[in-house]
Structure formats: C-alpha cells, structure tokens
Structure 1
Amino acid sequence: MEDDELLDAQPMEGEGEDNLFAEEPATADPLAKLYEIAKTQGDISHLLDSTQLANLGARVVEDYELDDRSRASWKTKAQRALDRAAQEEEQIKNYPWDNASNVSYPLLTVAALQFAARAYPAIIKNDEAVKVKVFGTPPESAPPEVQQAASQGDRRAQMAVQAATEALQKRQAKIARAKRVGDYMNYKLFYEIEDWEGDTDVLLHQLPIIGLGYRKEWHDLDSGRCNAAYVSAMRLVVNQDVKNLKTAPRVTEEIPDVYPYQIEGRIRAGRYRQVSLPATAEDDQAPRMLLEQHRMHDLDGDGLEEPYVVTVDKETRQVLRIEAAYTLEGARMGGVEGEERVVGFDRWMPYTKYEFLPDLKGRFHSIGFGHLLDQLTEVVNTSINQMIDAGHAAIAGGGFIASSLRLQGGPGKTNTIRFRPNEYKTVTVAGSIRDAIYERNVPQPSPVMFQVLDLMLGAAKDITSTKDVLTGEANSTAPVGTTLALIEQGLQVFSSIYKRVYRGLKAEFIMLYHLIGAYGDPNDYLEVLDDPEADFAADFSGEGKDVLPVSDPSVATKMQAMGKAQLLMGLIGKGGNDRAIMKRAFEAFEIDDPEELLPVPMPPNPAVEAKAQRDQAAAEKDVAAGRKLTAEAAEIVARNTAGANPRGVPGMAGPSPDEMGLGGAPEALGGPEGGMA
C-alpha cells in the first residue's frame, strides 16, 4: 500500500478498548492506522473515544503506582539521605526524655560538597562543556622522495601526492566542522538553554547523595528551541526490575507544579485535549500533579505495542495528551518476503541516566552515599546524641530531697529551686542540708563508645573519600611524595564515579546533537558562528564524528598539580632549571602574570663569552687544518695510484719523499738512495 493510500484511511467513530478506531472491514488495516498515527503531528487523543481514553488514563496511573511500589525501599533511603544532607530538622525525640538530643552528623553533607567541588570545575570550563571528536587515522603527507619524483614529472608520484593532499584537505575540513559543531553546541548549552549550568550544579550535588539523576532533552513547542532540564530521580518513576530506559515498558515523570491557568493555556493552544478538571484543594489555583508516561501501548490493534507519550492528570486520571514517540522511518519491518510487517520501533527516550554507583544487586536504580552510609550514619548519630544526653544529665543534676527539707521556690514550685549567678536561697531544715539532699550518680559515656564512634567516622570517610588531605587539612610537614600518594589513593573512588558521570555527559550531548540536527535552524547556525563555510545539514549529519564532553575522566586534579609543584620547588638550587621550576609552580597555583614574578635571566659574563668564542674559533681552525691534511693525503694517494714511481715500480709513481714532506735519512725509506731496494 502506498503512502498516499495510507493517508486516505480515515478514522471512524467506534468503541472498544483494544481498537484505535472502528473502521469498515475494507479499510481496517493496522498498518494504515499505524501510518496515520505516525503522520499526525502533536496530540492524537482525538483518535480515541471517551471509553478508550478513560481506560488508558486509569491504566497509566495504575502502572505508575505499581512501578513506584517496586522501588519503595530505594526511595525511602534516598529521601532519608536527602533530609540528612540538607540538615533538616527531624521529628522531636522523646527518648530518654522529652526534647532529647537529635543531632544529625553531616557525613552526607560533606561528601556531597566535596564531590561536587571536584567534579564541577572539571566538567564546566568557562563556557565550554562539549568538544567534537573526529574519528579516523590522520593522513600523512607524501614522502619527500615521492614529492621530488612528482616535481620531475613522474606521473605515478604526482597521483600519490595529489591523493595525499586531498586526504589532508578532507581531514582539515572534518576538523573545521567539528570545531563549528562544538562551538554551536556550547552556545546552546550556556546561552540559549535556560539554566543548564545551574541544573548541572544541582545534579552534581544530589547525585552523590541518592546515586541517580536524569537530564531531559526535548524540542520545546512554545519557544521552538531545543531545551534541557534536570529531573530528580525522586520524580522519575521506573520499575526496579528493568534493565535500562530504552527497553523499559514504562517511564513516568511526575510533574507536580502545573497550575490550572497553564493547563488552560495549553488546551487553547491545542496541546491538551478539552477537559474539565475539578479543584482538588480549597485553593482553586493550587498546582496539579501531572504524570507524563513514556509507555508501550497497542493503539493500532495489530498485537504489537508502539511507544507513546501519555500525559494524565493524576487526581482525576483524565488523559490530557497522547503523542507518538516514533516516526515512520523508525518503524522496523521484517518477516518473510511478501508478508513483511512491523516488528519493532526506534523509540525516542528523552531522558539520560546519570549514575553514581551501580546497584550491587544489579537492579535499575543506582545507589549513592546515602544508601551506603545509611546504617553508619544511624550509629554515628545515636552515639553522638547519647553522649550529648549524658553530658546534659551530668550538668543538670538531679536526685532526691527529704520531706523534712522545705524549699521556698515560689508559688507552684514546691521542692524546686532555680539559681541565678551570685544568688543564695533560704531553706528550712532541722539538720544538715547535705543529709536532706541526695544527688543521683549519672553514668558517664564509656571510652569504648568514643572508640566505636571514631571507628565509624573512619569507615565513613573511607567510603566517601573525604580524607584530610583532600579537604585541605593535610599535615604540612609530611613529605610531598607521601602527600601525592595519599591524594592518588583518596581519589580512586572519585575517579571511578567521575567516569560514570562522563558516560552520562556523552549520552546527553549525543542526544542534543541529534535534536539540533532534527529541529535546528540553519539561519541561526550561520548567524551564531558567522562562518561562511558553515553548512548546517552537513555539520549535523552525524557522519565522521562523535560528540564528547571536553572534560577528561583521567584529568589531573588541581590538588595533584599543586602537590607536584611542591615537589618541584624542593629541587630549586640543586642543579636544575630554577626559572622553569618556578614557572610551573606559579602555573599550578594559578598565579596571574607569572612572568612578572620570575627572576630576569642574568646576561652572560663578557670575559667568559669572549673566551668561549676564542675556544670555538681555535677548534674550528683545528678542524679546518685537519680537513686540509686529509684532502692533501687523498690527493697524493690518487697520484701514486695513477702512475709509476721514479725507480720504475708500477703503481708507485709520485713525488719523492721530500716532496711529500717526509724528512729523514734516505735509508729510512728502504734503500741506500731512498728508493725501493
């Protein structure tokens, strides 16, 4: 069936939960329904009758509640961890007495602050977060001998040089395109997408606490731009037993802050269907909880579920919007030849998962320090509160007073006296006051309790990597090498977690890249870059490049760089290049204008320089003399080889020994007359 014929398939009014629309038998084609849905832009809820909408709305809420129950244990610990990290006041504690100590030690607070303080500067560098990596082996220029042969007219060499030149030009063009894409994506993140940097800050503070976070990216219908927002894991409900977001049958986002006037505006704009929502509170303008569920559902009646986005009002379970989460190009066909049918879909999932630590039991929801430190935090808080209560009891005192002792504490305060500084009270007693008052003994905290507390705090610091050396409290007298080793050891946990964040960044930027390619404005691309070579369609085609964060997961931290600088400073005056050492140290400590602080290089000593020049001239003279003697000797050997000597011996012609500069008695040359005997 052709596309034009599919578009002519018109929906008919009907009823039934399992069918999208009731059609005449001649046109009841599931494939036609599927294509009709995919080609419908925006809300498709008008294709369902009221019964189907009511059933779908109820199903969305029930499935959401089922998924939320599956992660109840994770959610409880995560919420408790958030409360502890925020140092929010807990309920009043009434044991061992009313308003007893209820201090929460800031283990999670310190861990979250330290992680974010190290990760945030590595991810956000000024206004750059994205770079574009160009794949492929960089080509090499033609070898010099090939270039020389080409210049002499060798046809094969000329072809080789041309091929190498074209490969280099192609590589340079890809690099230029990569830079343009990176610049434009950074512009989108930092100057067009509202509060992307602020959301990243929130993500990096919340991630170590609850272990999970999401970034949502979509094409905003109101502004016509690509948008992104951080979604807390507390607000995105996924079944605990799924493997990943792409294969999850349902992913539900809680949207708790949608006001009635916003809903009415979307109804008038055609984004939501016409509904009447009764007030759920005394304030008729109180925000409503909406559920945006990305789910699989069979609307075309062929037995294969398709991906949709269904928006429902949680309180009334009314469907506000249904949108297809697939395209015609994303419908995969299969089956035997001649009987092909849809076998699957390329599903659009707008959420990117950021993980802190994978669940140790292999479940979907990752864990954070809040889960790992849940019991340790409870032990630490209990120990501290017990010691505070013991100190309070010891300071406040208490005991027994004999009935014979009359205390004048004022009306309604029998047997109770409160003292102010420098104040004495009058009492009536027959004997000694000491005999009438017995102060009870309050047991003091055991030294073992302090040891246990120290052990628990040490274990917590081991888990969170908040060593003294990482928090700026290292021993200043420790050797630099030891400090560097401690830094490396303390950053092991941080480095592995940061690589998981890096994976999330990569997935997020790839999604943004495809969003820009699908919905971006070529004119805006040219205007932002102001580059005549910019080609929006070619640059965002996805060919030959991959989008990656600019931050390196193995990048050296500032603390490591400072430790290395201290190591170098210890080598000053020991025969190295002191000026270069100082320059590196200033750069590691981020000192402005280090050149102004570096010592001016001393000019050379004139006498030493003159002597060096004389020595060099003498050496050059000796070399020249040696070369001259070598040349003369070679010339003599050549002449001797070419002719005969004066005594007639072949091959020995040449000058006499005197002419060769060989003095001495003729006998020394082998004969009475200086010739050959």
Structure 2
Amino acid sequence: MASPKRDALPAVAMPSGLLAPSALRASEPPPPSLLDGLHIDIQTDGLTDGAVIDPATGAAMIEMDDGGVIVDFSPAAATDKASKFNDNLAEKIEQAELDRISAELRLGIQEDDRSRSDWLDTRAKGIRLLGLKVEDPKSSVDSSVALEGMSTVRHPLLLEAVLRFQANARGELLPAAGPIKVGDKILETGDDDELAESLESDLNYYLTTTASEYYPDTDRLLFYVGFGGCGFKKVYNCPIRQRPVSESVDAKDLIVSDAATDMRNSRRVTHQIQMKPSTLRRMQLAGAYRDIQLGTPNPAMPNAVDQEIASTQGIDPISAIREDDRDFTIYECYCELNIKGYEDKKRGQATGLALPYRVVIDKDSTRILEVRRNWAEDDDAKLPKVPFVKYPFVPGLGFYDIGLVHILGNTTNALTAAWREMLDAGMFANFPGFLYSKLGGRQNTNEFRIPPGGGAPIETNGRPIGEAVMPLPYKDVSPAFATLVDNVAQTGQRVGGTAEIQIGEGRQDAPVGTTLALIEQATKIMDAVHKRLHAAQAEEFQMLKECFRQNPDAFVRSVKGTLKWDANKFVQALEDASLVPQADPNTPSHMHRLMKAMALKQLQGASPQLYNARAVDERVLHMIGMDDAETLMVPANQPPPPNPEIMKGMAELSLKAKAQQADAANDQALTQMKGQEIAAKVQESKARTEMEARDLAVKQQMQLRESQDQHEDRVSRERIAAMGVVSDIINHPTEQGVAGAAAQKFGALPGSN
C-alpha cells in the first residue's frame, strides 16, 4: 500500500459501503521499492466497501478524512478471510475492536453471574443436604456444635426424591431400544414406510452406539434436573469429533441473567467451559479458534457449587498447582453486538441493530478466539440461533427453575434436626452426664467410663453417694414429638412425589378406572414434570435433525444399517420424517402404562365386536415391554374367527346339548340305583330264606339227636332193671327159672340178644 499525493489521482466521489475504511488497512505497509516507477491509473467501475476498485488490477483506493488516500494493491487477500458467511470474523476484525468486545462481554458476564449468586448458594446447601458425604459424630465443641458427641446424620428425604425422579425419568425418556421415534411411518396407501422405519432404527443406533456418551450423559442430566430445577442440552456439530453431538451442560456452567425469562430473550447466554490445553489446541488446528498464543492459565477459582461438590467428593477444587495441570476457562458467549465494519445496513445505511454472534473468549488472557454469525444465512430477519435446550422441573420465578432442593430443602433441614435430637436424646438417656458435689470432688479424674457389669470408686467424703452425684435430667423422645416427625416426613414425601400410593385399599377387584384415578391424583405433580421433559426432548431432537441436515456425511459414515444410506437419501428422509420422543407425554411412569393396558383389555372384553382383538393384544404386549409381540401370536394369514353372534348361538346350543346329556345321565343313574336297590332286596330275601332253612335243618338234627338220646336212655334203664332182676335170682335160687327167662328177655344174661 502507498499514499500518493492527492493531486496525482483523479477526483472521484467516495461512497460509503459495507466495510469501514479501517477494515482494509494493512497492519504493515509493503516495502517502498514495490512502488518505484509505478504509474497509477484507477478507473471506477463500482463501489465496494467504501473503496473504488480498479477492475483491471483489483487495487482499491480509499480517501481518508485528513485528505490522504490509501491504495491497496491486494484487497482480495484482506477480504477473503471473511468472505464466507460462517467464517471466523475474529481473523478479520481489528484488535482494538476485539478488545472492546472482550471487555464489554466480560463485564456483562460478571453481572449475569452475580445475579444468580443466591441460586448458586441454595444449590450448594442442597448438595450438603443430600447427605452423600459420610460424617462422623462431632468430637469437639465449636460454633456449630452445642456439645460433644452430637450426631451428624442427615434425613434422606431429598436424596430419595431425587433418586426416584431420576430413575422414573430415565425409564421413560431413555428406553433400551433408543429414544427417537419417527411419527409418520405409514404411507398414504396404508403400507409401512420402509425408509422411515430404517431412519428410526439407524438414528437410535447412532445415539446408543456411535454417540455412546448420550445415555450416561442424559442420565446424569436428569439427576441435576430433579435436584436443582433445570438442566441443559447443547446440540451442535463438534469440529473435533466431526459429527453432531448432544451433550448436557450443568446449570452452574451456563451463565444467564436471572432476570431473563428464557434464553431467546436474554441479552447473553454464556457457556463456561473448563477446557484442557490439548482440546484447545485441537480446536485451533480444526480452524474453529484463532491460532494465537494464550499464555499459561491461572488456577481456577471455583464457585460455591464447585466447592461443595469437591468437598462431597473429598478433593481439593484448586489443587492444580502445576501449570501443566491447569485448564483454560473459556467463555462461549451467545450475544448481540454491533461490530464496527459489520453493521446491519438497510439501503446502504447503518440501522444500529445489534446482530447475533457467537463469541469465544479466554477468561485469563481476555483474548477473543472466535467470532461467528449466529443466524441462518437465508434468514432475512437475522434471528439468533440457540444451541441449548432447557430441561425444566418446575418453572420458577427467574430464569433458573425450581427443583426438589427448593421444594424439600427446608423440610429436609427440619427432619435432619429432628433425627439428630432423637438420636442425641437416646444417647444421653443411656449415657447421661452428671453433676457432683465439690465436697466429694477430690477424685483422680472427673471422667468415669464404667463398662457393663463394672464399677468405679468415688470419694463422697462420708456423704451418701446419692447426695454427692446427680445425673443430668435428659428427657427421652416423647410420643408426640415422634408423631410430629412422621407427619412432617409424610408431607414432604407427598409434595416431593415419593409417597407410597395406597391403591384400592387392598381390594383385588378394584375397578381399573378408580385405580388409575388414584394413581393420577397422587402423581399429578410428576405428570406435569414429565410433560415438560417430553417437550424439551422433542425440541432437542429437532435441533439434532438440523445438525444432521447440515452434516449428513457424519451419519452416513458412522451408521451401517440394513439400508445403504447416502447423503441425499438421508437428507430426504429427514425432510419427510417427524422425529419425536419414544416416550408418551401422557404416561409418566410404567405403573400408568400397566393400568392403561388393563383398562384397554377390560373395554375390549366388554365390547368385543368393537375391537380388533389381535391389535389390542399387540398394543398391550408392547405397553408392558414385550417388543417381540408378533412372535407370540399365530400367523395373521389364518382364517378369520367366526361371527361372534354365531359363536354365541353355537355356545348356547352346546350348553343345551350338554344339559340334556346331563339329564339323561342323571335318569340312567337313577334307574341303575333303583335296579341295584331291588337286586339288593332279592339278595337279602334269598339270604334270609337260606338262613331259615339252615336253622330248620339244625333244629331237625337236634330233634333226631334228642330222640336217639332218649332211646338210648330207655335201653340203658331197661338193662339196669334186668341186672337188678339177675341179682334177685342170685339171692333167691327158687325163682331162678322165672328170673332167668326174664333176664334173657331183657338181655341181662348171656345168650340174650
């Protein structure tokens, strides 16, 4: 560049353009020898950036306010750096302007950070209330301890509520098969859209396998959403990983004025990043940041939240004393600026409108690494793009929302104090302190630790021991105090959504509608939170869709699905598809899903003619988590089931036939029973006749035996009589003849028969 005399050049009008004259001024002029003997003849062929351009040589002539003229023989080299819309303007803007921007932004960031100091203090206290740090009972007396040995236990009300929320939200927002669903997978013809099916499957593969950090990172985000009230997702194309990324940002690292209502209406949205030197160097090599020297970073100064987190983890937040171990503190600020040389213009005149930019500043060196336009190139309104998605718990009074630490913090403090009082009361009731008389105080020690079954001598100076020593009147826990603690805990559980729901009062036949109403009434707060999270996740997927549209090669390069993707096919599929979360906004928990499935089956059973039984069963199996429901059913190409009315008539006929068969069987059984009774009677009569015949035969035998016995008795008597006659003959010989004849007659003498 050179500054020839004014009268050596033709007089031309110097209009204003898009760039300030200072923007075309080189930092160092070329050697004067390049202009020796050079004849300058500039012809104006158009107006560009406030300079007259020679179409033959490309040189630019700029008239200065003091009457001098600057001629730039290579203006293209100075303008090429910012010729593209998405280029880093920090390479083009003058250093003085960059310093002004850096100073203004750092001052604004400090004010934004100061506006949320109370919120940071509350969150730091809440981390302490979680009770994640193991604390021993106090062994000394200080300002925070009334007496030695006090308990340090903390009530887990807040921790339980946070863990339950995280577990339930994770189960709904992060299903095992993937979080994304394509909302329109049915073509107008009624057939399945195979391209949409493949897109859904491969996008879920990308988030679960390629972007393997997505699930654990989102799981951690949900913990902070429930605890602190809000969390953020940052969706962008990473220049290092060269693919779309959706990463969580802790609310403490996103600095926004608490007076703002949302990010789009905020003056500044600043992401504070602790960046390793190697990562910073990678960003410079990738062309994202200016390749400049930043010096050695200062030791980080943690805020209240960082200090409490470090204390809970048992680490020193400022332990990085070695320079090589220090990280850079980077401010990535999304703001609106009116940059000199890049003003918004309408009809060639500056409008004074501040335009949206993304500015990256190194906090310690205060140097700007990046300045880029933050609106869509085809957006005439130049509205700012916000790469952050807010996951809210309960919308609060300011920008930062209300979390469980705000809802249950005071209740947890009260329950913690009550628990400590109850434990300390029990300990002091079992191991009371005491007062002793000065007259009996000449002891070797005033600490008596007596083991069970043991004793210790004490000098009473002749007085009764009961008068020398008096235990302190510690009171045990009263029933009223224990009841109050239980009521406070139940109230906190109800407000925090962790109360145990009593469904149907133990009835097994409780109607599903009644049960579902009880569940919905008890979980109404968490139902509203789930709807907010669902809307935030839907917004995140739309931003991720836009990142994929800008960088489709990242998806094609990383996904190897059943469909062979190319960039054009993938972009067309994105344009035609509507990406929504897999979660149902009206179903905040698996319990709700099961009750809805039961209600659907009851409706189908009550009116079977109105429902497709197979479709209902498939829906129910899918709702309870059976992904392979089709494999559990008979093939769909089998004959359709008969008309229910015909089946009903056939069932009635079958019942009548079965009834008739039962009646016939009963009649036959009665007939058989009667025949069996008659046969039994005949058999009984026959047996009785046989028994009577046997009795008669026995009687006849007894009579015959009796007659024989009588005959034998008569014969025996006759023989005895004859023997008497023989005896008489022997005694009277004169009558021997008559007697002998008589004896022979009766067989009393030999020869008689």
Q: TM-score, normalised by structure 2?
A: 0.62
Letter in structure 2 aligned against 1:355? P
SS of equivalent to 1:120 = helix
In 1, the alpha carbon distance for the partners of 2:167 and 2:199 equals: 29
Name the counterpart of 1:348. 385
SS of equivalent to 2:246 = strand
Name the counterpart of 1:499. 531
Name the counterpart of 1:192. 210
SS of equivalent to 2:535 = helix
Q: Does 1:287 align with 2:310?
A: no
Change (3 A) 1:50 1:95: same
In 2, the alpha carbon distance for the partners of 1:186 and 1:325 equals: 29
In 2, the alpha carbon distance for the partners of 1:223 and 1:589 equals: 38
The offset of 1:498, in angstroms, is: 0.5
Q: Does 1:512 align with 2:544?
A: yes
The offset of 1:353, in angstroms, is: 1.0
One of 404, 407, 410 as aligned partner of 1:372: 407
In 2, the alpha carbon distance for the partners of 1:403 and 1:556 equals: 69
CA contact (8 A) 2:497 2:523 kept: yes
The offset of 1:398, in angstroms, is: 1.6
Once the two structures are superposed, residues 79-135 of structure 1 have per-residue CA deviations (whole angstroms, 9 ceiling, x without a partner) of 322332353368977332246333321122111221222222222222321112239
Name the counterpart of 1:423. 454
In 2, the alpha carbon distance for the partners of 1:248 and 1:263 equals: 27
Letter in structure 2 aligned against 1:207? V
Name the counterpart of 2:426. 391
Change (3 A) 1:265 1:119: closer
Letter in structure 2 aligned against 1:352? V
Matches within 5 A, 1:230-241: 230-241=248-259
Q: Does 1:94 align with 2:144?
A: yes
One of 272, 285, 293 as aligned partner of 1:275: 293
CA contact (8 A) 1:297 1:305 kept: yes
Name the counterpart of 2:354. 305
Matches within 5 A, 1:252-271: 252-256=270-274, 258-270=275-287, 271=289
Change (3 A) 1:539 1:178: farther
Please report the RMSD computed on the Cα atoms of aligned residues, expressed in angstroms. Answer: 4.6
SS of equivalent to 1:97 = coil
Name the counterpart of 1:488. 520
Change (3 A) 1:518 1:458: same
CA contact (8 A) 2:225 2:231 kept: yes
Name the counterpart of 1:47. 92
In 2, the alpha carbon distance for the partners of 1:248 and 1:592 equals: 44
Q: TM-score, normalised by structure 1?
A: 0.68
Q: Does 1:202 align with 2:220?
A: yes
SS of equivalent to 2:168 = helix
In 2, the alpha carbon distance for the partners of 1:569 and 1:89 equals: 50
Once the two structures are superposed, residues 411-443 of structure 1 have per-residue CA deviations (whole angstroms, 9 ceiling, x without a partner) of xxx222211233222233313212211112124
In 2, the alpha carbon distance for the partners of 1:37 and 1:323 equals: 10
The offset of 1:347, in angstroms, is: 2.1
Q: Does 1:181 align with 2:225?
A: no
Name the counterpart of 1:626. none
One of 39, 43, 63 as aligned partner of 2:108: 63
Q: Which stretch shifts more, 552-561 or 72-81?
A: 552-561
One of 102, 105, 120 as aligned partner of 2:155: 105
SS of equivalent to 2:103 = helix
Q: Which sections of structure 2, spanning at least 5 residues, go unmatched?
A: 1-16, 28-48, 52-60, 66-75, 300-320, 344-349, 634-649, 658-753
SS of equivalent to 2:264 = coil
Once the two structures are superposed, residues 185-239 of structure 1 have per-residue CA deviations (whole angstroms, 9 ceiling, x without a partner) of 2222112224101112112222111110111111111222111211111111111
Q: Which stretch shifts more, 204-213 or 93-102?
A: 93-102
Name the counterpart of 1:218. 236
In 1, the alpha carbon distance for the partners of 2:242 and 2:323 equals: 31
Name the counterpart of 1:663. none
Once the two structures are superposed, residues 536-574 of structure 1 have per-residue CA deviations (whole angstroms, 9 ceiling, x without a partner) of 35744764543211211113743245568899999xxx9
Once the two structures are superposed, residues 148-191 of structure 1 have per-residue CA deviations (whole angstroms, 9 ceiling, x without a partner) of xxxxxxxxxxxxxxxxxxxx45x758x44433332332222112
In 1, the alpha carbon distance for the partners of 2:622 and 2:577 equals: 33
Change (3 A) 1:426 1:86: closer
Change (3 A) 1:370 1:134: same
Change (3 A) 1:523 1:447: closer
Q: Does 1:243 align with 2:255?
A: no
In 2, the alpha carbon distance for the partners of 1:63 and 1:402 equals: 68
Q: Which stretch shifts more, 114-123 or 38-47?
A: 38-47
CA contact (8 A) 1:13 1:22 kept: no
Letter in structure 1 aligned against 2:373? A
In 1, the alpha carbon distance for the partners of 2:249 and 2:620 equals: 41
Which structure is higher in RCO with an 8 Å CA cutoff and minimum separation 6?
A: 1
In 1, the alpha carbon distance for the partners of 2:656 and 2:230 equals: 74
The offset of 1:78, in angstroms, is: 2.5
Q: Which sections of structure 1, spanning at least 5 residues, go unmatched?
A: 16-20, 140-167, 333-343, 599-607, 616-677
In 1, the alpha carbon distance for the partners of 2:422 and 2:559 equals: 66
CA contact (8 A) 1:208 1:369 kept: yes
Name the counterpart of 1:673. none
In 2, the alpha carbon distance for the partners of 1:77 and 1:583 equals: 48
Once the two structures are superposed, residues 271-296 of structure 1 have per-residue CA deviations (whole angstroms, 9 ceiling, x without a partner) of 33312323424310222322111111
Matches within 5 A, 1:591-606: none
Change (3 A) 1:26 1:213: farther
In 2, the alpha carbon distance for the partners of 1:354 and 1:370 equals: 16
Q: Does 1:400 align with 2:435?
A: yes
SS of equivalent to 2:530 = helix
Change (3 A) 1:328 1:356: same
Q: Which stretch shifts more, 215-224 or 445-454?
A: 445-454
Give me the identity figure in percent. 21
Matches within 5 A, 1:455-474: 455-469=487-501
Matches within 5 A, 1:455-604: 455-469=487-501, 480-481=510-511, 484-521=516-553, 524=556, 528-531=560-563, 536=568, 539-540=571-572, 543-555=575-587, 557-560=589-592
Name the counterpart of 1:116. 166
Change (3 A) 1:70 1:540: farther
Change (3 A) 1:594 1:112: same
Name the counterpart of 2:24. 12
One of 91, 96, 117 as aligned partner of 1:72: 117
Change (3 A) 1:585 1:431: farther
The offset of 1:505, in angstroms, is: 0.7
Q: Count how many residue pairs are aligned between Structure 1 and Structure 2.
A: 536
Q: Which stretch shifts more, 270-279 or 554-563?
A: 554-563
CA contact (8 A) 1:356 1:497 kept: yes
In 2, the alpha carbon distance for the partners of 1:449 and 1:13 equals: 80
SS of equivalent to 1:242 = coil
Q: Which stretch shifts more, 557-566 or 312-321?
A: 557-566
Name the counterpart of 1:316. 365
CA contact (8 A) 1:103 1:384 kept: yes
In 2, the alpha carbon distance for the partners of 1:350 and 1:306 equals: 17
Change (3 A) 1:378 1:132: same
